[in-house]
Amino acid sequence: MRTYDIERYLNIRSAYGASFSADGERLSFLMDTTGVPQVWTVDSPGAWPEQRTFYEERVTFASWSPERPELAFGMDKGGNERAQLFRLEPDTGVIENLTEHPDAKHRWGGWSHDGERFAFTSNRRDNAVFDVYVQARDGSGTDAELVHEGDGWLTVGGFSPDDSKLIVQEAYSNFDQDVSVLDLATGELTHLTPHQGTVRFQSPEWGPDGENVYMVTDRGSDTLELVRYELASGEFTTVETGGDHELEGISIDHDSRRLVYSRNVEGYTELTFGELTAPDRIDALPQPDLPNGVAGGVSFSPDGERAAVTVTASADTANVYVVELATGDAERWTLAATAGIPRDTFVPPELVRYPTFDGRDIPAFFTLPEESPEGETPVIVDIHGGPESQRRPSFSSVKQYFLSRGYAYFEPNVRGSAGYGKAYGHLDDVENRMDSVADIEAAVEWLHDHPAVDPDKIVAMGGSYGGFMVLAAMTEYPDLWAAGVDIVGIANFVTFLENTGDWRRELREAEYGSLEDDREFLESISPINNVEKIRAPLFVLHGENDPRVPVSEAHQLVEEAREHAHVRELIFDDEGHGFSKLENRIEAYSQIADFLDEYVRSAPAADD
């Protein structure tokens, strides 16, 4: 089989995050053709797109005004996540900085329906909390009006149909949120979701008449359901249930009353489009003819007759499709290139379940390379971050690269992962943290029994919280691993919580435990305090500007671990929590490939 080098794989493009223009004639989307995501537009299926922004930094979102030929977009600097908001006139190329507070984070909250204003949250007043702001479309810098002072992690869920109110969501952890309504005239904040314990209230959306708020919640079940909250009565009504599966979110077009909600079925997305014919009645429209994978980022056309959707699959890149809602017919509008690599060389995974120490089964995606000699195939166990995240069947150029080099790929959704209900998501909380690491040991035991796998060539790899899982697995079960790759990972929970961004500390303590109450336990499970147990070679990669897991986590780990095992370190001065720039990604994964070749196996040289 012909092979390609990592640079070719990392030049595979993704197109996503679509938004319809006010006249319905154009789509904006993000695409990383230049090496980092920028704003592009296209006016018909498969037409040649036009690039609209030309920065060396990543653009994080783009949203058309509902009334004017202009876009809002966000961009940070060097991965620092302090996104600023900008206004772009695509027809003239004029770009204006709307926020002009480079030391603060800005979280987009949507346009008003008349396109005159937009809302956002920012920590510009106090680095540790987010406030709600409303600003005129042509304002800048200090022109934003502070409409609500917050005391936590706030986001805006959009303007009401008459633009008089905002939905405000507050997050305490990934499994615990609240939803309120802010009256812009009076400043009154009405709390809709008082509750005890941890309850998810997510994806809040105004109903078409402004009298109801729809959202997904697990307030009365283990899995997320679609509910309606009636503002007048203060009562909840269940609209749709997901059964054993989570309903992940909802999007509503106010004028047409069209909506879409998504169901997470073992990581795959099932979209349901429909029309809200009564407050609790959804008349389903034909099932959209989309690839089987992960779908989201829905944008309705101005007339509500079409919807743009981003779809990715394990063996296909992310692209934007437009669905004709009356028929369900879908057409791909973007053609994200595969760098000349044939699409039929991309390998899809198998969904498997493996037993773990307490008798439950853990879901995972397992992918074997095209050639898998019996008993000789090395495996990369790629552990997701979060921890309340989920490995899903979306495209990964890195994964396909290592598959082409003969590595199998194993992607577990250990306890604590999202997508499998509330109870499963809480199984790793605080004192149960190491149970999720035991699920990784069980994964390796399952791999040992697979006829294709070489049990002496199993690699642990992960990023962020997944980096902690790599380090924990290497200290708890040191004899299982041929090598480890830790990308922007946590080495010491105490120093991580002390040094992470002020706005994140409370959120993370809700999951991991608090410095005040759980310091001794956090010290006991921190890999840095068990580093002498590491036996396998370890590669540590980090971004100098990481606001989530400070680069000091990497430095202290490397210094300690080098006394006990072979350790490499690679720090990027212009990156944050992960690697967004193409040249850095090429360097990072080239070095990872060389590292694994040296310590795990020798792969054949690429043809080009």
Please list, in sequence order, all residues whose beta carbon lies within 8 angstroms of the beta carbon of residue 504, skipping any fewer than 6 positions away. Answer: 153, 547, 548
Give the integer Cα–Cα distance in Å for 218 and 208: 23
Whether 605 shows a pLDDT value over 50: the answer reads: no
Residue ranges making up the domain that contains 152: 98-199
- Would you state the pLDDT for residue 44? 94
Quick: pLDDT tens for 77-135: 988 889 999 999 999 999 999 999 999 999 999 999 999 999 999 999 998 899 999 99
* CA neighbours closer than 13 Å in the CB half-sphere of residue 524: 10
What pLDDT sits at residue 502? Answer: 66
Nearest of 431, 437, 377, 394 to residue 412 by alpha carbon: 437
**Would you say residue 441 lies in a domain?**
yes
Phi, psi torsion values for 420, nearest 5 degrees: -125, 20
State residue 443 phi and psi, 5-degree precision: -60, -45
Does residue 24 form part of some domain? no
Contact (Cβ atoms closer than 8 angstroms) between residue 28 and residue 13 = no
- Of 164, 182, 199, which residue is a domain's last? 199
CA distance 404 to 402: 5
Q: What is the pLDDT of residues 512-563, one digit of tens each?
A: 877 778 888 889 888 899 999 999 999 999 999 888 888 988 998 999 999 9
Question: Using one digit for the tens of pLDDT, what is the confidence trace for 297-329?
Answer: 999 999 999 999 999 999 999 999 999 999 999
Arithmetic mean of pLDDT, 22-39: 95
**Residue 408 one-letter amino acid:** A
Side-by-side strand order, sheet with 176-183: 153-159, 165-173, 176-183, 189-191
Residue 237, pLDDT > 90, answer yes
pLDDT at residue 604, rounded to an integer: 46
DSSP helix/strand/coil, 281: strand
Which distant-in-sequence residues (6+ apart) come within 8 Å of 47 by Cβ?
none
- Please report, for the domain that includes residue 549, its CATH number: 3.40.50.1820
DSSP secondary structure string for all residues of 68-123 = SS-EEEEE-STT----EEEEEETTTTEEEES---TTS-EEEEEE-TTSSEEEEEE-
Structural domain contains residue 155: yes
How much of the chain, in percent, has pLDDT values that exceed 90? 82
For residue 251, being part of any structural domain is answered with no
Please check whether residue 154 lies inside any domain of the structure. Answer: yes
pLDDT in tens, 35-56: 899 999 999 998 999 999 999 9
Up-side HSE of residue 221: CA atoms within 13 Å toward CB? 18
Residue 104's CATH number: 2.120.10.30
List residues bridging with 169 in a β-sheet: 155, 179
Q: What is the mean pLDDT of residues 428-437?
A: 89
The answer to whether position 466 is within a domain reads yes
Residue 200: per-residue pLDDT: 95
Model pLDDT, residue 429: 83
Taking residues 415-425, report their average pLDDT.
93
Stretch 358-378: mean pLDDT, rounded?
95
Domain termination site, one of 184, 199, 214: 199
In-domain check, residue 73: no
Q: What's residue 501's pLDDT?
A: 65
Confidence category of residue 1, pLDDT binned at 50, 70, 90: low
Mean pLDDT of 151-166: 96
Is 134 contained in some domain? Answer: yes
The yes-or-no verdict on residue 603 having pLDDT over 60 is no
Angle at 489 between CA 519 and CA 407, to 5 degrees: 140
Q: Is 90 exceeded by the pLDDT of residue 490?
A: no
Which pLDDT score, from 0 to 100, does residue 71 have?
A: 97
Cα distances from 409 to residues 378, 402, 592, in angstroms, run 9, 8, 15
What is the distance between the alpha carbons of residues 426 and 417, in angstroms, rounded to a whole number? 9
Give the number of domains in the chain.
Answer: 2
Last residue of a domain, one of 199, 228, 255: 199
Rg for the chain (alpha carbons), in Å? 24
Question: pLDDT value at position 235?
Answer: 97
pTM reported for the whole predicted model: 0.92
- The average confidence (pLDDT) of the chain is 93
